[in-house]
Structure 1
Amino acid sequence: MASLLPPTAGVSAGPGATAPTAGASQIRGDQWHLRYLKVAEAHHLSQGEGVSVAVPDTGVSPHPDLLRNLLSGIDTIPGGSGDGQQDRDSHGTSMAGLIAAHGRGNNTGALGLAPRAKILPIFVSPPQSDGAPDALAEGVEFAISRGVDVISISSGGSTSTRLDRAIGTAIASDIVVVAAAGNKPEDSRVTYPASRSDVIAVGGVDRSGRHATVSVAGPEVDIVAPAVDIYSTSYDGKYSKGEGTSGATAIAAGAVALIRSRFPDLPASEVAHRLTATAVDKGPPGRDDQYGYGVIDLVAALTADVPPLGFGSATASAPAAGTPSTTAAARPGDDGDGGATVRGWVTLGVLVAAGTAWVLIARHRRRSDDPPPRISR
């Protein structure tokens, strides 16, 4: 659930929610996930410069904390403004803010993981109702045509021939696709497109780093990120508080943007590998169905010596300190069923008083015999 918080005054978050927040002056303090993930330290290494992230969702409102990073997008369903910059649900704006909000200076306003990345807003799902797979497919096709680096999908549901083809084309086009694993109790297993082996499937953890009860578990889960009490931007200059794998997905997409910015020559498959290989292991040793490979570690993902995919430890040679071992130059600073019946497309995160719940899921497979990364400090 999520509540809308005005930019200057707090409002009640509703039953079961935490105390109200006083808008732009306090939202940064409420964003606990920034401290948990050591975002300030990561920003000394990368802030997402030169990277664009497509957000096919309920549209993205031009929030003051996000406006400078908002591109002109598209609506793939009737009733929008035509450029993706209209959101009466709050979900899309919240996801975009988690990825690339730049705040207002002096530590005020919301901050995203990649505050210098650009957001391509794509309105694919009407507020308070299910979207159609082909509307999402059109949004993914548009993102491909615009040459984005990342596609962040905080929703899940059935597929169609067109959608499955679009996701496959995005992967083949060297785009990292991140998607939400799904939310309990509505979902009992990882949803599409996170269920694809070439998509990064994202689950969630709570404030203590434990598996979030709302997060679906399954063999497709690749990584986890904060998914509880997540504060971000909303429509009309307000702020939202939510929970679910939607927010975790957007956070993971922001992490991918940081990696793609720092290592601009790294192919999408190696970007995903770097994210999973440097994750902090949780639960049983190694990959498991609740945490995947673990919680994202931004600093490690930006500094670790990560042998490339399929490169055995016996033949790996250590690079110079501070140099990524994957072949890229560092910049400063279940496969979908194409014949499935078309049913509704449901976002998986939950925003209190903000509208429908939505989620992003994504996953990447790392070979169990790949050597662990070595961190260069």
Structure 2
Amino acid sequence: MLTAPTISRPPAETEALSPRANIYDIRGRQWHLDYLSVRQVHKLSQGEGVMVAVVDTGVHPHPDLRGNLVAGTSVLHGDRSNGQQDRDGHGTGMAGLISSHGRPAGKGALGIAPKAKILPVRFKLDGPLGTATDLSQAIEYAISRKAQIISISSAGAANLALQRAIQSAARADVVVVAAAGNIPADRHVGFPAAYPNVIAIGGIDRGGKHTRISVSGPEVDLVAPAVEIYSTNFDGGYRAGTGTSGAAAIVAGAAALIRAKYPYLPADEVAHRLTATAIDKGPPGRDDQYGYGVIDLVAALTADVPPRGFGSVPATPGGGGPTTAEAGGPRTGENRAATVRGLVTLGVLLAAGGAWALVLRRRRRSADPPPRISR
């Protein structure tokens, strides 16, 4: 029987913490809120009625998100917690980016979808430690609890159980968002981000440019802010980090906004709306650094987006910003060999079965070497 090896903590570059913020200045440090026009976005949707599963190290009931936290679980042997414990901080940070509601008078952290519910699913106790098998069980649990979105800020090698769990999520009409990976530990987009039916997320810096820590590859779908991203911490305070973890959580929050405003929109059309309204960067059309572009929350909520299959028809802004990203067809390509490997957190704080085929075309190459595990 194969077992998953223990993986060391990510490199210092992904873990460097910015100076600690407090309840009074944290909102001003969350630069990604202004970058993504979140104040305007919250007049359109705040994620009400949507549940997002945060599959991570657990989520501490931080005062800034306690009102949105529901009882979850831990899939770890011997851990009977309800998911609302976190001794690392990573899971709490990801949850905060998605749905922190802050406190009165503009104090505290604010999430992308501050009225969305968070379902904490603990599949590792510490940021660097986890297995693909545990992650697959965590995904299956989230599906059983009717989560509409699953946010995964971890990556590693391909795994058959993990692939099957992703297929189950697709059949259940669940939007799965996953971090692509961090350089230098990762050289390829990791799994589950590299699987079909997963929205793979890279990162940009404060200037909107591809950040050097974010991996590139044909599986990258979208990019979002990933540098010095402030959020909630497991001790009730705040911290910041750099990596594609935070970018993935931000996009998961964006998916919650869409599912709240368009409750009958299926998962593939949620993904399509995100990519079709993204702001194109780099070479025209999709590229391996930016995918289909930078998420545009206002456009994703307001643009007149033609259904999938009308790839030659651009999205028409309906009060949002420019929407020049290409709308593509289904992912293609074969899955790499499945082996049991570890999953590692991507930054701090930061299908067979044919359910729905994601809207994004993949330039996947069967001769690609397997991705390296983040270390």
Normalising TM by the smaller chain, what interval? Answer: 0.7 to 0.9
Query: For residue 264 of structure 1, what is the amino acid of its counterpart?
Result: P
Alignment of 1:21-60 (within 5 A): 21-60=20-59
Q: CA deviation at 1:213?
A: 0.7
| Partner in structure 1 of residue 252 of structure 2 | 253
Q: Secondary structure at the match of 1:237?
A: coil
Query: For residue 129 of structure 2, what is the amino acid of its counterpart?
Result: D
| Partner in structure 1 of residue 294 of structure 2 | 295
| Partner in structure 1 of residue 213 of structure 2 | 214
| Partner in structure 2 of residue 90 of structure 1 | 89
Q: CA deviation at 1:365?
A: 3.8
- The separation in 1 between residues aligned to 2:133 and 2:17, in whole angstroms, is 35
- Contact map agreement 2:57 2:126 (CA 8 A) in 1: yes
| Partner in structure 1 of residue 70 of structure 2 | 71
RMSD: 2.5
Q: Give yes or no for the alignment of 1:104 onto 2:96.
A: no
| Partner in structure 2 of residue 267 of structure 1 | 266
Report the TM-score when normalising by structure 1: 0.83
| Partner in structure 2 of residue 244 of structure 1 | 243
- The separation in 1 between residues aligned to 2:123 and 2:16, in whole angstroms, is 30
Deviations 1:141-187 (A, max 9, x none): 11010111100000011243222111100011100000000000000
Q: CA deviation at 1:16?
A: 7.2
Q: Cα–Cα, structure 1 residues 317 and 109, in superposed 2: closer, same or farther, change >3 Å?
A: closer
| Partner in structure 2 of residue 348 of structure 1 | 346
- The separation in 2 between residues aligned to 1:89 and 1:247, in whole angstroms, is 15
Segments of structure 1 that go 5 or more residues without pairing to the other structure are: 3-14, 323-333, 353-362, 369-377
| Partner in structure 1 of residue 188 of structure 2 | 189
Deviations 1:334-354 (A, max 9, x none): 6544x62212111111359xx
Deviations 1:49-95 (A, max 9, x none): 11000011000000000100001001011454520011000000000
- The separation in 1 between residues aligned to 2:16 and 2:122, in whole angstroms, is 30
Q: Secondary structure at the match of 2:23?
A: helix
| Partner in structure 2 of residue 327 of structure 1 | none
Q: CA deviation at 1:132?
A: 1.0
Q: CA deviation at 1:128?
A: 4.6
- The separation in 1 between residues aligned to 2:195 and 2:268, in whole angstroms, is 14
Q: CA deviation at 1:276?
A: 0.3
Q: CA deviation at 1:17?
A: 5.8
- Contact map agreement 1:197 1:335 (CA 8 A) in 2: no
Q: CA deviation at 1:197?
A: 2.4
| Partner in structure 2 of residue 170 of structure 1 | 169
- Contact map agreement 1:222 1:365 (CA 8 A) in 2: no
- Contact map agreement 1:73 1:120 (CA 8 A) in 2: yes
Query: For residue 141 of structure 1, what is the amino acid of its counterpart?
Result: E
Deviations 1:211-246 (A, max 9, x none): 011000001000000000100001121111001000
- The separation in 2 between residues aligned to 1:277 and 1:83, in whole angstroms, is 37
Q: Which moved more, 1:168-177 or 1:340-349?
A: 340-349
- Contact map agreement 1:309 1:366 (CA 8 A) in 2: no
Segments of structure 2 that go 5 or more residues without pairing to the other structure are: 1-8, 320-332, 351-356, 363-375
- The separation in 2 between residues aligned to 1:77 and 1:318, in whole angstroms, is 46
Deviations 1:224-278 (A, max 9, x none): 0000010000112111100100000000000000000000000100000000000
Query: For residue 340 of structure 1, what is the amino acid of its counterpart?
Result: A
- The separation in 2 between residues aligned to 1:349 and 1:22, in whole angstroms, is 18
- Contact map agreement 1:277 1:366 (CA 8 A) in 2: no
- The separation in 1 between residues aligned to 2:158 and 2:278, in whole angstroms, is 29
- The separation in 2 between residues aligned to 1:312 and 1:56, in whole angstroms, is 33
Q: Cα–Cα, structure 1 residues 17 and 239, in superposed 2: closer, same or farther, change >3 Å?
A: closer
Report the TM-score when normalising by structure 2: 0.83
- The separation in 2 between residues aligned to 1:312 and 1:288, in whole angstroms, is 16
- The separation in 2 between residues aligned to 1:211 and 1:148, in whole angstroms, is 31
